[in-house]
Amino acid sequence: MTDKMREEFEAAVLSEYPNQNMGKFATGEYQSTTIEHCWWAWQQSRKALVVELPEHYQYDSPGEVIPVLKDCRAAIEAAGVKVSQ
């Protein structure tokens, strides 16, 4: 899993439980078995997240790319994922 994903996980934990011990062993596993189990669940939830995008479209002019972006945004939001801007 990526460092960014781990950073997001740790930020989410600490936002709810600011005094939580996030210490890790040299192996990268969390010292707290509860946090380690939560980390496992976090990773599994990300693996399960799959968004099927609309088919690729060919357009005559570059200005017509916007409908494709709207279709992609709609597909992502339909999967229950928040899209910013």
Max Cα-Cα span within the chain? 57
According to the model, what pLDDT value does residue 60 have?
A: 57
Q: Bigger pLDDT: 11 or 63?
A: 11
**How many CA atoms, within 13 angstroms, populate the side-chain half-sphere of residue 62?**
0
| Contacts of 46-49 spanning 24+ positions with Cβ under 8 A | 46/1, 46/5, 49/79, 49/81
Geometric angle at alpha carbon 70, from 82 and 58, rounded to 5°: 135
pTM equals: 0.62
Going by pLDDT thresholds of 50, 70 and 90, the confidence category of residue 62 is: low
State how far the Cα of 74 lies from the Cα of 57, in Å rounded to an integer. Answer: 15
Question: Is pLDDT of 65 > 60?
Answer: no
pLDDT one-digit tens code per residue, 16-41? 999 999 999 999 999 999 999 999 99
Mean of pLDDT over the chain: 82
Q: How confident is the model at residue 79 (pLDDT cuts 50, 70, 90)?
A: confident
